[in-house]
Amino acid sequence: MILELKNIQAFYGNLQVLKGVTIKINEGEIIALIGANGAGKTTTLMSVCGVVPPRFGEIYFMDKPIHNMSPDKIVALGISQVPEGRRIFPLLSVMENLDMGAFLRKDKAGIKQDLEYVFELFPVLAERRHQSGGTLSGGEQQMLAISRAIMARPKLLLLDEPSLGLAPLIVKQIFEIIRKFNTESGTTIFLVEQNANLALKTADRGYVMETGSITIQDTTKNLLKNEEVKKAYLGL
């Protein structure tokens, strides 16, 4: 197991958002987490990254407790996030954004190799490398956000709604690349999506979250057939 959330509870001030969430992710898997607006999906990812540390419960990354670690220590262990809304550094160039992704790395040769790899995945980024991040289109920004996370050469990649606000064609392209990256590199992916149909077709297993609790978990094959999921999330 690469990541294990054990009954975590997270709060914003006095407001409890996660009410005991347990999730297990195996190495190399793509796991989907789906749920309605405000269910607590983003908060779950932020808990894993140490930005919203859980008040109760435990998080283990490769059998190491990380629930008391600061975000930079967690990144150093090999967890990268593509956050909701992309969060490109708007005034840094595309190149500098990618450099920031590799902020904690010292292996120059490896960094260069990964840079070539992301430019191969997203050739448009190579063309725009000197442009500032804020001037990219939404789709290009999402590609940059994913590339920035890949530049950390993570063992676990967290993706928060990569389809948000993008045209269907771009979404399709991006999801193909996510799958390709998973197969080629073996990187484990934890994917949060509101687009349940897309997420369940991409992932191996899935979790459904409702107001801070996991209500259903299964293989995506079964989830796509599950009546409850169909009604609530697939609009069937």
Partner 1 sequence: MDWLYFLELFLSGLTKGSIYALIALGYTMVYGIIQLINFAHGEVYMIGAFTGLIVASILTLLGLNTLSILLLASMAAIIYSAAYGFTIEKIAYKPLRQAPRLSPLISAIGMSIFLQNYVMIAQTSDFMPFPSLIPDFEFMEPYAHIIGSPELVIILTTMVVMIFLTVLIKFTRIGKAMRATAQDKGMAMLVGVNIDRVISMTFIIGTALAAVGGILTACHVGQINFYIGFLAGLKAFTAAVLGGIGSIPGAVLGGLVLGLTESFGTGYISSDYEDVFAFTLLILILIFRPAGILGRSTTQKV
CA distance 86 to 235: 27
CA distance 132 to 22: 40
To which residue do tokens 């347990």 refer?
22
Q: How far apart are CA 196 and CA 35, in angstroms?
A: 8
Asked if residue 128 binds partner 1 (CB under 8 A), the reply is no
Q: Please give the Cα distance from 179 to 27 (Å, whole number).
A: 15
Report the half-sphere exposure of 228 (CA within 13 A, side-chain side).
Answer: 12
Answer for which of 65, 90, 165, 186 binds partner 1 (CB under 8 A) is 90
Chosen residue from 26, 68, 103, 186 binding partner 1 by CB under 8 A: 103
Binding to partner 1 by residue 138, rule CB under 8 A? Answer: no
Radius of gyration, CA atoms only, the chain: 17
What tokens were used for 126?
């190579």
129 binds partner 1 (CB under 8 A): no
Q: Does the footprint of Mg ion cover residue 43 (CB under 5 A)? A: no
Interface positions with ligand ATP (CB under 6 A): 12, 15, 17, 35, 37-43, 84, 194
Neighbour tally for 27: CB within 10 Å: 13
Task: Show the site string, 139-178: x = touches partner 1 by CB under 8 A, - = not.
Answer: ---------x---x--------------------------
- Is 12 or 130 the residue whose CB approaches ligand ATP more closely? 12
Residue selected from 42, 141, 142, 182 as contacting Mg ion according to rule CB under 5 A: 42
**Shortest distance, CB of residue 225 to Mg ion, whole angstroms?**
26
What binding mask, one character per residue, do residues 66-85 give for partner 1 by CB under 8 A, x or -?
Answer: ----xxx--xx---xx-x--
Burial class (CB in 10 A: 0-12, 13-18, 19+), 74: buried
Residues 166/138, Cβ–Cβ less than 8 Å: yes
Minimum CB distance to partner 1 smaller for 11 or for 216: 11
CA distance 236 to 228: 10
Q: Which stretch binds Mg ion (CB under 5 A): 40-48, 58-66, 134-142, 198-206?
A: 40-48
Interacting residues toward Mg ion by CB under 5 A: 41-42, 84
